[in-house]
Amino acid sequence: MTVVSRRGGASKKPTLNMKLVIESFTKFRTAKNDEVAAKATHESLRDTLLPLVEAFGTAHGEHGQHQSIELPEAVDGFVRIVRRANVSELFDLDLGEKLAVKKCVLDDVQTTSIMVTFAGTAAEAKLVMDAIETAKLEAMGATVTANVKVEQDKLYALHQRNRDLITAADLDSCIVRETKHSFFPER
């Protein structure tokens, strides 16, 4: 590439200092490799500390749901290491479906999604859309899949409309609690 100076003449492109490129890239890769190694060491040490806190820690937190070990002296400003219990409550759709079957309301709380998959040009896709209207999908080489699933929102809406049919206890029976633990040093 030729660069034109303001005076109208052509100036040469500066030469690339390959030594600087190699030196900088070498340092970059060393730093990246050090970062990967440090992360692996960090995770290994965390995985060593978590079971120790579980085995020897005392109740910690507002409700005593976590465990901690108090350090005899601050380490880098941290005074305790904590194994936090992180609890998630999730609606289990399989349990919701069993509930809907038991209460004979499955059709009321299901949603059916139909997906048509077709690989072709835009003109061919238009033909597929026309074929959908005339139910000639297989002749066009398209596939149809249906996904029927219970909708959590529909179960809750049915509960709002008829609390005798779907009770709060019924809905609570579909909630699963999952606890994951994390390592959390505190200052």
* pLDDT bucket at 32, cuts 50 / 70 / 90: very high
For residue 159, CA distances in Å to 44, 68, 107 come to 48, 42, 15
For residue 103, CA distances in Å to 45, 64, 97, 167 come to 51, 39, 10, 11
Higher pLDDT, 132 or 79: 79
Q: Is 169 exposed, middle or buried (0-12, 13-18, 19+ CB in 10 A)?
A: exposed
Instruction: Output the CA torsion sign for 153, 158, 159, 161.
Output: positive
* pLDDT bucket at 7, cuts 50 / 70 / 90: low
Q: Where are the domains of the chain?
A: 17-87, 90-179
CA 92/CA 15 separation, integer angstroms: 64
Which tens digits make up the pLDDT trace of 117-141? 777 787 887 887 777 766 666 666 7
CA 75/CA 183 separation, integer angstroms: 15
Which tens digits make up the pLDDT trace of 101-122? 999 999 999 988 877 777 778 7
Write the DSSP string, 94-117: HHHHHHHHHTT-HHHHEEEEEEEE
CA 26/CA 9 separation, integer angstroms: 38
108 close to 155: Cβ distance less than 8 angstroms:
no
pLDDT of residue 57: 94
